[in-house]
Amino acid sequence: MRQILRITAILLLGASAVALADHPDPAIESMDSAKPRPPKTTLAVGATLDGNGRLWLAKVENQRLLVSRSDDEGNVFSNPVVVTPQPENISADGENRPKISVARDGTVLLTWIEVLPKKYSGNVRFARSTDSGRTFSKPITLNDDGRVTSHRFDSLAIDGTGKVAVAWLDARDRDAAKEKGDEFSGVSVYTARSNDNGASFGANRKFQEHTCECCRIALSWTKQGPVAFWRNIFGANTRDFAIANLDKGGIRRGTVDEWQIDACPHNGGDIASDRRGQLHLVWFTNGNNRQGLFYKRLDSGWESQPLPIGDSAAQANHASVAAEGKTVILTWREFDGHSYSAQMMHSNDSGVSWSEPQRLMDSAGATDYPIPLIDGKKILVVWNTALEGLRVLPFERIAAR
């Protein structure tokens, strides 16, 4: 296999002073019967690269959402800017993390979930900066139903020129059905859209009913608009993934694993699109047809066979995918009984063939899931850890021969 990447450095940014507890992995959660959990950790960060290759970071500290940036691949970050002027209980626990994107004109856009006192309830929040992250607008709540219920597991996608899509899991329909004495499986996917870089948003729109309660939604902006990838409920209680274009609809089944479970696996998938319009999917399943972590690609009406990735004996899951040109990067986390590790595979032929898995970094404490970032010039893997702090691993891109 041709090598397209070369490790250049591991950069460590001081460890957090807050004691953090990890969660067992994978977790199975039922919205109706789960026991109260301890306070969530704040290890989960949001990260992105802007058009100039700068690394942007969104993280939560002391109930504040902070944004900083680095011009040197994470070696030095700017002083963090506070996005939330008032304290908020913000989700930052892996499946439910802050999201950050930067448009071509430099507008910085953020979404996150404000956790409310009622069990499993939350609000989808949004703020933006029009001065390169020096100041941020007053945060607003995007869910417009006025209910104190579950609005969580948000996802953010932009086209870079002003169009913004936000999608989240929403329990308003389930609550309304219960008030009428009707049955309702799972929750719904709702969206909010903006055509002016987040200066204003239209009314919420229900996109799909009967989805899994707490598996993250993945969004990717394609040539045809925003495409969502989420764990749906098919039939009585088969929790496989669905995929659809938010503009065109046409929901289709993305995976046929036949995972039949009356609970939420708390283990969402991820999606990325390349310049050809090909979609790259990665997900975890424990279904009747297959078990473990898998990757596949979709191109028009064609799709590849699911490719198993990672070591299932080491709990390989919570994968992410990034694509640029013909380069595709997969990252995920494993646990060998002693420490967590960040793992990676790469392809330089649009997902046709793959490198062997690489064990990038280890940590004996609690960790976030590794985040792959890619643009036309660089590849970074961002991994936040309780013991070592934020770690940024850059790679050199080597042209395929």
What is the end-to-end Cα distance of the chain in Å, rounded?
11
**Both structure tokens of 106:** 């430099």
pLDDT per position as a tens digit, 358-382: 999 999 999 999 999 999 889 999 9
Eight-class DSSP state of 313:
G
What is the mean predicted confidence (pLDDT) over 235-241?
95
Strand order of the sheet with strand 187-194?
Answer: 151-158, 164-170, 187-194, 205-211
Q: By C-alpha distance, which of 225, 214, 219, 304 is closest to 268?
A: 214
Query: Rounded distance, CA 393 to CA 380, Å?
Result: 6
Per-residue buried b or exposed e for 80-98, using 16+ beta carbons within 10 Å of the residue's own CB? bbebbeeebebbbbbbbbb
For residue 165, CA distances in Å to 141, 159, 247, 253 come to 14, 9, 10, 21
Phi then psi dihedrals of residue 174, to 5 deg: -60, -45
Q: What angle do CA 380, 384, 389 make, to 5 degrees?
A: 110
Residue numbers of the domain that contains 19: 5-397
Q: How confident is the model at residue 36 (pLDDT cuts 50, 70, 90)?
A: very low
pLDDT at 4 over 80: no
Q: How confident is the model at residue 275 (pLDDT cuts 50, 70, 90)?
A: confident
In angstroms, how far is CA 101 from the centroid of its own chain? 12
Residues in the chain: 401
pLDDT at 76 over 50: yes
AA identity, residue 244: A
Helices first, then strands: H and E counts in the chain: 1, 30
Helical (H) or strand (E) element with 321: strand 317-324
Query: 3-state DSSP call for residue 258?
Result: coil
Q: Evaluate if pTM is beyond 0.85.
A: yes
Query: Rounded distance, CA 226 to CA 159, Å?
Result: 8
Query: Rounded distance, CA 49 to CA 69, Å?
Result: 9
**Both structure tokens of 261:** 């479970």
Query: 3-state DSSP call for residue 175?
Result: helix
What is the DSSP code string of 327-389? EEEEEEEEE-SS-EEEEEEEESSTTSS-PPPEEEEEESS-B---EEEE-SS-EEEEEEETTTE
pLDDT at 18 over 50: no
How confident is the model at residue 75, as a pLDDT?
95
Residues 6+ apart with CB under 8 A from 315: 25, 26, 334, 335
CATH of the domain at 190: 2.120.10.10
Burial of 325 from C-beta contacts in 10 A (0-12 / 13-18 / 19+): middle
How confident is the model at residue 40, as a pLDDT?
55
How confident is the model at residue 35, as a pLDDT?
42
In total, how many domains does the chain have?
A: 1
